[in-house]
Structure 1
Amino acid sequence: MDTRKTWPGAISAYLKHLRAAGRSPGTLRIHRYYLGLLRTIAPCPALVSTERLDTWLSEHEWQPETRRSAQGVASTFFKYLLAEEILKKDPTLGLAPVHVPDGVPHPAPESAVKHALANAPDRTALMIRFAAFCGLRACEIATLRGTDWDGELLRVKGKGGRVRVIPVQDKTLICELEQSPGWLFQGRIDGHLSAQYTAKLLGEYLPPGITGHALRHRFGTVAYRATHDLLAVGAVMGHAKTDTTKRYIQLDLDPLARAVQAAQI
């Protein structure tokens, strides 16, 4: 029997395929997590049906973004099995696309950023600077190395293993990058901190209700107001589409008020 037709064999072959494609460890962990949940719905991959997938996706109390991620993992997994002729049909073809409502920008207020920088320990303050001043995600901050900095540009590996460059301007960050040959934030995950713990630290010194991710929204908002260049802001933030960048930008109310005022009689 082809062991790839069993859950352990199919998952192992699929993850090996992702590693060969250069997918990041974070991406592998996400796929492994969702496939661990998926394997509970049928004795083997061949017995997974569209109906069972619908039940699986609906029974979890997931946010729309999470539900879409789970469906995406299932889709790429079964497409791989089909391409390798491990299965003869793809049960995800009958799934309806997951609707994700447009996100509402929620940038951290400038007062909150200043308060956090003034009160956080040095290591956490550095994380806050990378999020608020460079637009980095928690998972990207967690895996920063001093060798990612070439004296002018910071190379950041983001979602999907895509690498982008950021011309860091903050002198404190530049100094730290130049003095740290290894991991900037050492921890227990292959020598560095986990993304989850980094996100927790980012939000620890912010006011209640404001998460570390709001620092990234703050960067998008401030950067766009200064440049009005969606492509440039999206490139720094690591977005493949400008529609994604738009969800991070809170429009300045002054131009909106002028637009409404101009229409008055």
Structure 2
Amino acid sequence: MTYKRRRDYQEWELAAGHSENTRTDRFELLARAEHDIGELTRATESKITKWLANPDWSTATRATYWGHLHSYLVWALKAGMIDKDPMINLPRPKVPKRSPRPASLEAYERIMAAGEQRWQIAVTLARYAGLRASEIARAQREDIDDRQIRVRGKGGRVDVLPTHAEVWKLVAPAPPGQLVLAKSGQAYKPAGISHAFGVYARDLGLPRPLGLHMFRHLYGTRLLMDKDIGGAGANLRITQELMRHASPATTAVYTQVTDEERRRAILAL
């Protein structure tokens, strides 16, 4: 992608109102695709199809990548750079109905026992504060004290959450700046931190798939779970606020009703 083409597309994305995070993720993906496929305005349907058929990607990942590629190629078509959209016959991958996928407590404990501080902090921010991977990548020591966490979210949004003792125990001695850095000392991009954690989890021999976001699922699940079976006993409205969702319907996707909770509900009738 030439500098001018990149600049023009960035301006179009900005004019369309897409957030900085969306634009960043999109351009990272386009650069990766162009590295694998070649110049995207010359890519054929068969090359794109083969690239999107990567067996290591989930359907949701393929759907996201399809969307990024399609947006760019539609823009290129409208701008007169290509005569035909090579994805016109390639339908968007159908993502199954979402269901909660919380990480296990055993996985959390193994990561904590492994002793690599950056990943201890990362999974603890997800497990005890519900931070997304992109928010963990942006988290700085200055954002957290013993009372509150300033969460740097999408589009420049900042939320404030209470600090759990487990978070503070790990973060308090950390130096100023980014809390989770690559081995090179550089800050992670959102996609980069997710990939790096996946590699780390596989190297530990943890069950696949295991992503940072699954510890956020664990956070939501444990918030709603009854106190006498190990949860916080929070109601859906409180959980919605703590997970920073606009709708409780979204929160419900991140939570998992246990067999024990189902049994208790039936016996209480």
Task: Give the TM-score, by structure 2 length.
Answer: 0.67
- Asked if structure 2 preserves the Cα contact closer than 8 Å seen for 1:113 and 1:206, the reply is no
Gaps of 5+ in 1: 1-6
Give the Å deviation of 1:132. 1.1
Match of 1:250 in 2: 256
For 2:47 and 2:243, the matched residues in 1 are separated by: 33
- Asked if structure 1 preserves the Cα contact closer than 8 Å seen for 2:111 and 2:120, the reply is yes
In the TM superposition, 1:159-178 aligns within 5 A as: 161=155, 163-174=157-168, 176=171
Count of residues in correspondence between the two structures: 249
Q: 1:85 to 1:229 in 2, by over 3 A?
A: farther
Counterpart residue type for residue 76 of structure 1: S
Pairing partner for 1:229 from 230, 236, 244: 236
Match of 2:32 in 1: 33
For 2:223 and 2:160, the matched residues in 1 are separated by: 13
Pairing partner for 1:66 from 61, 65, 73: 61
Q: 1:55 to 1:152 in 2, by over 3 A?
A: closer
Give the Å deviation of 1:94. 6.0
For 1:204 and 1:110, the matched residues in 2 are separated by: 18
- Asked if structure 2 preserves the Cα contact closer than 8 Å seen for 1:82 and 1:89, the reply is yes
Counterpart residue type for residue 70 of structure 2: S
Give the Å deviation of 1:114. 3.8
Q: What do residues 190-237 of structure 1 show as CA deviations (whole Å, max 9, x unaligned)?
A: 83244132444467668444724332221121123332326x545544
- Asked if structure 1 preserves the Cα contact closer than 8 Å seen for 2:118 and 2:181, the reply is no
Q: Does 1:113 align with 2:108?
A: yes
Match of 1:152 in 2: 148
Q: Does 1:23 align with 2:29?
A: no
Match of 1:4 in 2: none
Q: 1:241 to 1:203 in 2, by over 3 A?
A: farther
Q: Does 1:100 align with 2:95?
A: yes
For residue 192 of structure 1, give the secondary structure of its aligned residue in structure 2: coil
For 1:241 and 1:28, the matched residues in 2 are separated by: 29
Give identity over the alignment, percent.
20
In the TM superposition, 1:1-20 aligns within 5 A as: 7-8=1-2, 9-15=4-10, 17-18=12-13
Q: 1:171 to 1:207 in 2, by over 3 A?
A: same
For 1:83 and 1:110, the matched residues in 2 are separated by: 50
Give the Å deviation of 1:240. 6.3
For residue 42 of structure 2, give the secondary structure of its aligned residue in structure 1: coil
Counterpart residue type for residue 139 of structure 2: L
- Asked if structure 2 preserves the Cα contact closer than 8 Å seen for 1:140 and 1:157, the reply is yes
Q: Does 1:211 align with 2:215?
A: no
For residue 126 of structure 1, give the secondary structure of its aligned residue in structure 2: helix
- Asked if structure 1 preserves the Cα contact closer than 8 Å seen for 2:102 and 2:218, the reply is yes
Q: What do residues 55-75 of structure 1 show as CA deviations (whole Å, max 9, x unaligned)?
A: 457654443112211220123
Q: 1:210 to 1:66 in 2, by over 3 A?
A: closer
Q: 1:222 to 1:102 in 2, by over 3 A?
A: same
Q: What do residues 74-132 of structure 1 show as CA deviations (whole Å, max 9, x unaligned)?
A: 23213434565666876656653421123443323334434543452444322221121
Structural RMSD (CA): 4.1
- Asked if structure 2 preserves the Cα contact closer than 8 Å seen for 1:141 and 1:198, the reply is no
Identify which range, 168-177 or 248-257, moves more after superposition.
168-177
Gaps of 5+ in 2: 226-232
